[in-house]
Amino acid sequence: MGMTRMLLECSLSDKLCVIQEKQYEVIIVPTFLVTIFLILLGVILWLFIREQRTQQHRPGPRDTAPVPPSRDLSWEAAGHGGNVALPLKETSVENFLGATPALAKLQVPREQLSEVVEQICNGSYGPILRANMNTGDASKSKSVILKALKEPAGLHEVQDFLGRIQFHQYLGKHKNLVQLEGCCTEKLPLYMVLEDVVHGDLLNFLWTCRRDVMTMDGLLYDLTEKQVYHIGKQVLLALEFLQDKHLFHGDVAARNILIQSDLTAKLCGLGLAYEVYTRGAISSTQTIPLKWLAPERLLLRPAGIRADVWSFGILLYEMVTLGAPPYPEVPPASILQHLQKRKIMKRPSSCTRTMYGIMKSCWRWHEAGRPSPRELRLRLEVAIKTADDKAVLQVPELVVPELYAAVAGIRVESLFYNYSML
């Protein structure tokens, strides 16, 4: 309107008026174009950011609407878990599961896993369950441990879980490692089937040895010096086995050793060994209780089997004190400064000089100064010959798990204890 009025009001001889009119053209047209450009840029940017966000929230490359999982086995029946939806297209997972024929030989028919007896704890992948496995003959039904992959799971979690099963397969059988019995991975939900080491972990066993219990379910809750060496030797055999495969365990501790009634010890908690297998090292994001770690681990330097040897020294201390927390006078966060002053634990009153000598060799600051698992085992075999197999180790104080957890620097939930003060 303003422009038209101006054109009407302008005479051709009025130069100033014509220039003014041109100035309007010069200002309005570019302003209009710039505005359009900015709006377009804004729209493009908004679309780009929206796409980025969608990708961040996508658990796998083929994410779609939730599909309820098929569930042949139900741990809700045992009072745990919830009926959760799976964020992956069932077909995408099934395509993926179908593409892992390496596990075909390990498949256990789901109908054989009839009954979940209890949920033991929540492990790193999901619920750890005790179930009965039918072997065709009713009299031959046996108890097994199922490690389930928690749901909902992303594709990379599924891959990792299957990789973990293949890792067990790669390791093969060893008397002192928890044995893989098979798996259910042809469809969701996924299970790793392990042998059941019914008496549970060594830490709870040690704590129970403090009580007046003599035997429970065929297990004698008494420990002698000789038996400490006997358990230690088996752990070292497992470490030698891992070392032969250029691996190490990364979390050797009484809580990661399972015990049978004949005192056969089996190393479990192979999560870090799997990391070493897949990545060649332990990622620093894993939270391992600091008081078990060798200085090179605390300093986040490359570590190997001799860091396990350091932890093995702590394990000997745990056994001989019937499950006392290491360095009781040192706050967990100050352990590195403590070790940097070249301080190690004093000899516990229940520990012979021979055993303390072995512990001290494990706690040499430099890895190269520490014995290998094999050298240690040979020392233990010599020590066993003269070890006391009569005197039962005794500690009168009972353990309060919450207090233990605070002093040891462990989350109390990760102790999975079935120990009671009564």
What residues make contact with ligand ATP under the rule CB under 6 A? Answer: 120-121, 123-125, 128, 145, 147, 178, 194-197, 200-201, 255-256, 258, 268-271, 416
Residue with smaller CB distance to ligand ATP, 165 or 194: 194
Output b/e per residue, 59-88; b: 16+ Cβ within 10 A.
bbeebeeebebeeebebeebeebeeeebbb
Residue found by looking up tokens 């097994």 in the block: 144
Nearer to ligand ATP by C-beta: 288 or 392? 288
CB of 352 to ligand ATP, least distance (A): 29
Residue closer to ligand ATP (CB basis): 362 or 415: 415
How many Cβ atoms are within 10 Å of 272's Cβ, its own excluded?
21
CA distance 190 to 113: 13
User: For residues 230 and 249, which CB has a smaller minimum distance to ligand ATP in the complex?
Assistant: 249
By C-beta, is 124 or 386 nearer to ligand ATP? 124
Q: Which residues are catalytic?
A: 251
Q: How far is the CB of 178 from ligand ATP (least distance, A)?
A: 5
Shortest spacing between CB 234 and ligand ATP, in angstroms: 15
Give me the DSSP letters along 89-109: -HHHHHHHHHT-GGGGGGB--
Residue with tokens 């041109």: 22
Q: Say which residues have a Cβ less than 8 Å from residue 219's Cβ, sequence separation at least 6.
A: 199, 205, 259, 260, 261
Alpha carbon distance 347, 358 (integer Å)? 11
Residue 137 to residues 72, 112, 143, 184, 280, Cα–Cα distance (Å): 21, 11, 14, 20, 44
CA distance 112 to 136: 8
Residue 269 C-beta: closest distance to ligand ATP, Å: 3
* Residue (199 or 379) nearer to ligand ATP, CB: 199
Please tell me whether residue 179 adopts helix, strand or coil conformation. coil
Least distance from ligand ATP to the Cβ atom of residue 275, Å: 9
* First vs last C-alpha separation in the chain: 95
268 or 393, CB closer to ligand ATP? 268
Closest CA to 404 of 211, 238, 255: 255
Under DSSP, the state recorded for 335 is H
Q: What token pair was written down for 127?
A: 């619920």
**Which residue bears the tokens 């199922």?**
146
Residues 145, 121 contacting (CB under 8 angstroms) = no
